[in-house]
Amino acid sequence: MSTTANIELDGKTYTLPTVVGTEQEKAIDISNLRAVSGYITLDDGYGNTGSCQSKITFIDGDQGILRYRGIPIEELAEKSTFVETSYLVIYGHLPNRTELRGFSDLLTKYQYLHEDMRFHFQGFPAGGHPMPILSAMINAASCFDTDLMNWHWGKRHEFDVYAARLLSQVRTIAAFSYRKSHGLPLIYPKKSYKYTANFLHMMFSMPYEDFELRPEVVRALDLIFLLHADHEQNCSTATVRLVASSQANLFASASAGVCALWGPLHGGANQAVVEMLEQIHKEGDDGSKFIAAAKDKNSGRRLMGFGHRIYKNYDPRAKIIKRACDQVLSALNINDPLLEIAKHLEAAALRDSYFVERKLYPNVDFYSGIIMRALGVPVEMFPVVFAIGRMPGWIANYKEIMEEPKSRIYRPRQVYMGPTLNHFVPIEERV
């Protein structure tokens, strides 16, 4: 098999090296092309561009395969927990008992925010969306720790502490954002609760009245976190890597990830799916009208929770979530009409040539919102739950870039299409 690629430009042939990944993914290394030929490559939306070599997550979008550090998502969903999977994603191997204990202890130790951060929460208006609060507060957290502000890649031994702090505190900040936006008193984390139970406690307990932690509810939310833990170079993770490449600190990089995640084409899609289903329900449509609108490019509508840049097959996470959705709703004895509409929409879309030809299948967001509704998570918190789940992936990508000896600042190029040389005209001479 050839290990080089030849490219002919302006009558000259350039030989470029190729890279083959451990799962036989192939790439042409063009990093030197401009230096030798004057050409860059142009790839709008980075659809065909590998921005890094990574050892964290493998996706085969044609086959519908997702693995964290080589382990299939189906096995992790069945046998692991979010905290254990986070360790796997961040450190590259499943933890033994001592490692897991140490990691959990760090998460418990660092779950509290600096008390003065409460005043920042007070500054946000009632009803403010929790995503900007989350992003702002993750970034602000670094102001409360001068060591973190001054932390740089040279002090790598402190990474474990900062990683645990971020993973633990994102859950506290997320719950406080919700409580603040609903004008509710803040509930502090409890040392005796595990990761996901603690989040539910901070979200839903009241002073002197603890929220009942039903095991099926805790497990369902833990599963949602786990299924979101990483997804290779998606928009938010690529953002985290981009910011990290300037050697910005871990919290600043993660805060940027939250902003990138917020949009309805990415982590905001779970909120958009439920809003779409609610609208269909309100209009008494069985989904047919919405599907027709989603196919019409002029309608400005899309079938939210459908389609993916990488998956051209059923998203494996959506399969797991769909099953979990049925189980949770039945365990909680909830009959949600939105689930029926969603199943009807899915069946109709999967028969429709528009979706079939474009290989548009349900993605992770199509059913996750229905589970979260059943758990009592308000719709504006859906992307926040996604952000908590994605945190181990962002941290792992940060760690990877930090540990890469030849790491360079990310700096894509462009092809300039604006005016050519022009000159300044004084205002009185302008028409």
- One of 222, 230, 315, 365 is an active-site residue; which one? 365
- Residue 239 touches ligand CMC, criterion: CB under 6 A: no
Task: Specify whether the CB–CB gap between 294 and 301 falls below 8 A.
Answer: yes
Tokens found for residue 113: 């925010």
Smallest distance from ligand CMC to CB 391, Å: 15
- Residue 307 touches ligand CMC, criterion: CB under 6 A: yes
Q: Which range touches ligand CMC (CB under 6 A), out of 66-74, 92-100, 304-312, 324-332?
A: 304-312
- Residue 233 touches ligand CMC, criterion: CB under 6 A: no
- Residue 303 touches ligand CMC, criterion: CB under 6 A: yes
315 in active site: no
DSSP annotation of 306 reads B
Distances (CA, A) of 408 to 77, 89, 156, 157: 35, 23, 17, 21
Q: Which range touches ligand CMC (CB under 6 A), out of 57-65, 134-142, 241-249, 259-267?
A: 259-267
Distance from C-alpha of 290 to C-alpha of 382, rounded to nearest angstrom: 22
Residue 214 three-state SS: coil
Beta-carbon neighbour count of residue 344 at 10 Å? 15
Question: Nearer to ligand CMC by C-beta: 3 or 298?
Answer: 298
- Residue 309 touches ligand CMC, criterion: CB under 6 A: yes
228 in active site: no
- Residue 306 touches ligand CMC, criterion: CB under 6 A: yes
- One of 120, 201, 231, 308 is an active-site residue; which one? 308
Alpha helix (H) residue ranges in 265-336: 269-282, 288-295, 316-331
- Residue 129 touches ligand CMC, criterion: CB under 6 A: no
Task: Specify whether the CB–CB gap between 292 and 353 falls below 8 A.
Answer: no
By DSSP bridging, strand 26-28 and strand 57-60 are unpaired
Contact set for ligand CMC, span 282-301 (CB under 6 A): 294
Question: Nearer to ligand CMC by C-beta: 95 or 393?
Answer: 393
Distances (CA, A) of 204 to 81, 174, 208, 261: 22, 12, 12, 24
Q: Which residue is nearest to ligand CMC (CB)?
A: 307
What residues have CB less than 8 Å from 303, skipping those under 6 apart? 276, 290, 291, 294, 345, 349, 355, 360
Task: Specify whether the CB–CB gap between 127 and 184 falls below 8 A.
Answer: no
Q: Which range touches ligand CMC (CB under 6 A), out of 69-77, 159-167, 215-223, 263-271?
A: 263-271
Contact set for ligand CMC, span 265-284 (CB under 6 A): 265-267, 269
Distances (CA, A) of 20 to 1, 17, 55, 163: 11, 10, 13, 31
Question: Nearer to ligand CMC by C-beta: 172 or 234?
Answer: 234
Q: Which range touches ligand CMC (CB under 6 A), out of 3-11, 96-104, 208-216, 356-364?
A: 356-364
Would you tell me which residues interact with ligand CMC (CB under 6 A)?
Answer: 231, 234, 265-267, 269, 294, 302-309, 358, 360, 363-365
User: Which residues form the catalytic set?
Assistant: 308, 365
